[in-house]
Amino acid sequence: MFDNISITLDEQKYLELAEYIKDLSAKNDFLYGKYYKLLAYFSSTLPKDSIVFDVGTYRGISALALSYNEYIKVISFDIANFNIIYNRNNIVFKIGNFLEDENLLNASLMFIDVDPHDGIKEATFLDQLIKIGYKGILIFDDIHLNSGMDNFWKNATSYNSQDLTSLGHTTGTGLLIL
């Protein structure tokens, strides 16, 4: 499905996003990690007014990459208020459970990057999304980080899936289409 994908972005526009990052280490991660460019690429393919969920805000850099397409809305969820980016007009940060958000079924893409990366929470989220009838693109981070995540990904591949590790994060990036 995505074997021959070519990530093409407006480099100047991508570099300008880095100005929203307060922390130098995080800025370097953003600028030199192909992983964030993959997220920006997926954002760039979405139509105007699309909603994207970023689950597991942490530093907010994934939300920033997903905000590359300024015509979409990124809603970033975490259980604590921790991010190191300046406000950007098309990103909303929320503390709480993304599964309870009124926009859930309208999100065309979700990026899921939650600790402790043991495969249990990821499997629970996937099961709950299927149960409520979610239809869209799911991108999971760290699918090869450890045996728990490997097992999660092995079970998830019964769905329409693609391992994008060669284009994404060194510890694994997986895409599912529900």
Average of per-residue pLDDT across 14-21: 96
Average of per-residue pLDDT across 87-109: 96
pLDDT value of position 80: 85
- Looking up residue 46, the CATH number of its domain turns out to be 3.40.50.150
pLDDT-based confidence at 9, cuts 50/70/90? very high
3-state secondary structure of 137: strand
**Is 128 inside a domain boundary?**
yes
**Is 110 inside a domain boundary?**
yes
**Is 118 inside a domain boundary?**
yes
CA gap 109, 46 in Å, rounded: 9
Torsions phi, psi of 16, nearest 5? -65, -30
**Is 1 inside a domain boundary?**
no
**Is 8 inside a domain boundary?**
no
**Average pLDDT score over the chain:** 94
Average of per-residue pLDDT across 141-163: 96
pLDDT value of position 37: 95
With a cut of 60, say whether residue 3 has pLDDT above it. no
Crossing angle of helices 120-131 and 147-156, in 10° steps, is 20
Number of domains the chain contains: 1
168 and 34 in contact (C-beta within 8 Å)?
A: yes
pLDDT over 90 for what percent of the chain? 86
Average of per-residue pLDDT across 51-77: 96
**Is 10 inside a domain boundary?**
no
With a cut of 90, say whether residue 6 has pLDDT above it. no
Q: Which residue has the tokens 């407006």?
A: 10
**Is 9 inside a domain boundary?**
no
**Is 3 inside a domain boundary?**
no
Domain of residue 119: give its range: 15-177
CA gap 46, 50 in Å, rounded: 6
69 and 44 in contact (C-beta within 8 Å)?
A: yes
pLDDT value of position 4: 60
Q: Per mean pLDDT, which range of 21-25, 78-82, 152-156 is the poorest?
A: 78-82
Average of per-residue pLDDT across 61-90: 93
Flag whether the pTM goes above 0.85.
Answer: yes
pLDDT value of position 33: 84
With a cut of 60, say whether residue 2 has pLDDT above it. no
Q: Which residue has the tokens 């149960």?
A: 131
CA 174 to chain centre: 10
Kindly report, residue by residue over 27-56, the tens digit of the pLDDT: 999 999 888 999 999 999 999 999 999 999
